[in-house]
Each structure stands twice: as C-alpha cells, then as structure tokens.
Amino acid sequence: MVVPTAPVATTKLPEPGGQRVPWARLAAGVAVLGVAVYLPFYFTPEVNTTLSQVLYLAVAAVGLNLLTGYNGQVSIGHGAFFGIGAFTSAVLVVNHGWQFEYTIPVAALLAAGLGVMVGFPALRVRGLYLALITLGLAVVFPRVTAKVVKGTGGVALVRPSRADLTSLLSGLADDQYQYLLCLLLLCIVLLLTWNLMRSRAGRAIIATRDHEVAAEAVGINVAAVKVGTFALSAAFAGVAGSMSVLVDHLADATNPITYFQLSIEFLIAVVIGGSATIIGPVVGAALLVLLRKQTAGLITGKEILAPAVLGGALILIVYVLPDGAVGGFRRLVARLGRGRRRPSSTPDPPPDAPASLTNRTT
C-alpha cells in the first residue's frame, strides 16, 4: 500500500546521546528564557493575559505536534482533549473547592484516558479518515459536555471566580503569576518532549510514521507506540485546557464550534511554526496570536472580514514557508553556513541515483 506522504521536512532529531554540547543553542535558550521571565513585569495585565494565551496554545500545539508531526497521525479533534482539561479544572475548582494547581495532573490524566480511547480505534484508520473521526470528536465534545456539566444557570459554562485563581506567591500580581505558571508548564512540556524525541522511544515514534512495516520488522510495537503517542499528546492538550481556565477564568461549551475552532488553531500553530520540530509549535502559537491581533485591528468597523484576512495571511505564510517558520530559519542558517564554509570541509557525496525511499511494496 502506497500512502501518499507529505513532503516530510527532514526531521532533525536532536543529537542523540548528546555528544556535542550545542553551546550556541543553549545560550540562545537561556537568553530567551530570561526575557520570557522578565516580560510580565514590563507589560500591562492585558498584554500579560494575551501572552499567557500564547503559552497555553503553545502547550496544546506541542502536544498535537507529537501526534501529527512526529507520529503522522492527523488529528483535528484536539480541542476535545483541551476541553476535557478545561472542564476538569474548572469543575474541580468551582464545585469541589480544589486549589487550581492540583487540578492540572488530574486534567492531564483524564485527557490521556480519552486519548487512549480514541487511540485504539485510530489504529484502524489513517490519513483523511482519521482526520474525520477526530473532527467528529471535537464536534461531539461540547454537546456531550452540555449534557453532563451544569454550571450556574444550567448551561455548560463554568466560571471560576477571580478569588479561586489567585496567586500563590505573594508579591506577584495575579496576571504575572498566571503568566509565570503557564511559562513553567510550557517549559516542562518542552523538556519532556525534547527528552522523548532524543531517545529510543522518540525514534520509534518517527519510524512508525515513516514506514510502519519496517518499524514492526525491527521490533517496534507499532500499535503501542501509536496509542502511547495519542495518550501523551492528549495529556498535553489537557494541560493546555487546564491552563486556559487559569488565564481566561472560563470553561465554556455553550457554543458547539468553540472546540472545533480550537482544534484548527492548534493545527495552524503546528504547521506555520514547523511540524516535527521541538520549538516550531511554540513559534507557531505566537505567530498565530500575533496575526489574530493584527488582523482584528486592521479593519475596524468591518470585523466580519477579520477571519478572511487571517486566512489570507496564513495561506501566504504556508506558501512562503512550506516547512514552517523553524524550517525556513534552518534553511536560512544552512545557506549562510554554506557561504562561509571553507573549501577543506568534507565534500558531499554526489547525489546520484535519487532512490525512492518510500516504496512500500515488500
């Protein structure tokens, strides 16, 4: 069976084994982190809230990227896992008086559980069919939730009060605390993902995407890898949903397309940032929120046009950067590097006989 594969941007795994320490990258990472920690003390509470939204969107996109980018299982239903996380946290805080921070692992676990439940049937379908099934999940989620969850007024909307979500750290304003907690969670999720992808398990995730038969033949339990990736990916989306309650003070299933829309946004963040890269989804989430803000302000009075402008901008980005912002950046660096390279560097073997690697017939 020949599955039409998208032109896979060469998945550059982080150097396995960490032979060379990438000092330049490390320094850049520390600098970025330093700035990120400083930001909430510089901006207004409104801006901080927007930045926190970028952070939770990024966590969800990192999760989706694990599944769709690295493992090749397309999901346009991750809004549902996000929603599970959001409602778990909101209900625990509002109805059961939990401290918000403790609800995060519960949200992750429940989302992972739903991920397993979807992951098993997902073993039997792929590509567009899987996309359709997950789409159904995102569409069904708010309706089921509306039946199960009754907030004030009997609708599926849970609104934790400000007092429920106050800062645990004295000396920090609520918006600053929220931002920093979101930043911490994003860093944890990124670290876990990075560790995973530079291990035996990470290679198994990619191998399963690239050639299932060959993966099975080298001893990879393809079904377990796929279901496991689904669960982990869903757990990250659940954490993102939980974070959204902290930031937006809201878990809302009254509008049936909210979670579908979110699913699409996660996918957009993955694609424009750079799928199958560690940091791409974060860049994509930032770009997406930036674009959303810009296009919304662009045409005051004609807000109805905003989605069209946003859509146009996204098409343009994907056209100019087919492998996302991170892919584009890498190509730029490679080009600059080639310009500088001394002639004594190892010559490239001739690129003769471009053999097809994706021939599935055995």
Partner 1 sequence: MPLLTVNEVGVRFGGVTALDRLSFTIEEAQICALIGPNGAGKTTLFNCLSRLYEVDEGTIMFNGVDLLQLSPHRVARIGVARTFQNLALFPALTVLENVMVGAHTQGHIGFGRAMLRLGAGREERQLRAKCSDILERLELAHVAARPAAGLPFGTLKRIEFARALASSPRLLLLDEPANGLTHGEVDELGVAIRDIRERFDLTVLLVEHHMAMVMSISDHVVVLDFGRKIAEGPPAMVRDDPAVIEAYLGAPA
- Report the C-alpha gap between 347 and 341 in whole angstroms: 11
Distance of closest approach, residue 160 Cβ to partner 1, in angstroms: 30
Total residues contacting partner 1 by CB under 8 A comes to: 53
Query: Distance between the two ends of the chain, CA-based, in angstroms?
Result: 10
Residue 124 is a binding residue for partner 1 (CB under 8 A)? no
CA dist., res. 56 & res. 245, Å (int): 10
Which is nearer to partner 1, 14 or 45 (by Cβ)? 14
**Segment 19 to 78, residues that bind partner 1, using CB under 8 A:** 19
Residues 6+ apart with CB under 8 A from 271: 284, 318, 324
Burial class (CB in 10 A: 0-12, 13-18, 19+), 172: middle
> What distance in Å separates the CA atoms of residue 227 and residue 135, rounded to the nearest whole number?
18
- Given the rule CB under 8 A, which of 176-184, 188-196, 266-274, 325-333 is the region that contacts partner 1? 188-196
Q: How far is the CB of 272 from partner 1 (least distance, A)?
A: 20
294 binds partner 1 (CB under 8 A): no
Should residue 216 be labelled a site residue for partner 1 when binding is judged by CB under 8 A? Answer: yes
198 binds partner 1 (CB under 8 A): yes
Q: Using CB under 8 A, which of 11, 166, 167, 258 touches partner 1?
A: 11
Phi, psi of 336 (to 5 degrees): -60, -40
For residues 24 and 218, which CB has a smaller minimum distance to partner 1 in the complex? 218
CA dihedral 289→292→297→301, nearest 10 degrees, is -150
Q: Residue 213 or 315: which CB sits closer to partner 1?
A: 213
Least distance to partner 1, CB of residue 7, Å: 10
Check: CB of residue 232 under 8 Å from CB of residue 66. yes
Q: How far is the CB of 226 from partner 1 (least distance, A)?
A: 12
Contact string 271-290 vs partner 1 (x = CB under 8 A): -----x--------------
Please enumerate in sequence order all residues whose Cβ is within 8 A of that of 53, keeping only pairs 6 or more positions apart, or say none.
Answer: 244, 247, 248, 289
In SS3 terms, 18-76 reads as HCCCCHHHHHHHHHHHHHHHHHHHCCCHHHHHHHHHHHHHHHHHHHHHHHHHHCCCCCC
Binding residue for partner 1, selected from 202, 281, 284, 327, defined by CB under 8 A = 202
Q: Is 214 in the site for partner 1 (CB under 8 A)?
A: yes
Please give the residue ranges that form the binding site for partner 1 (CB under 8 A).
8-11, 13, 16-19, 192-193, 195-196, 198-204, 206-207, 209-211, 213-222, 228, 232, 276, 346, 349-362
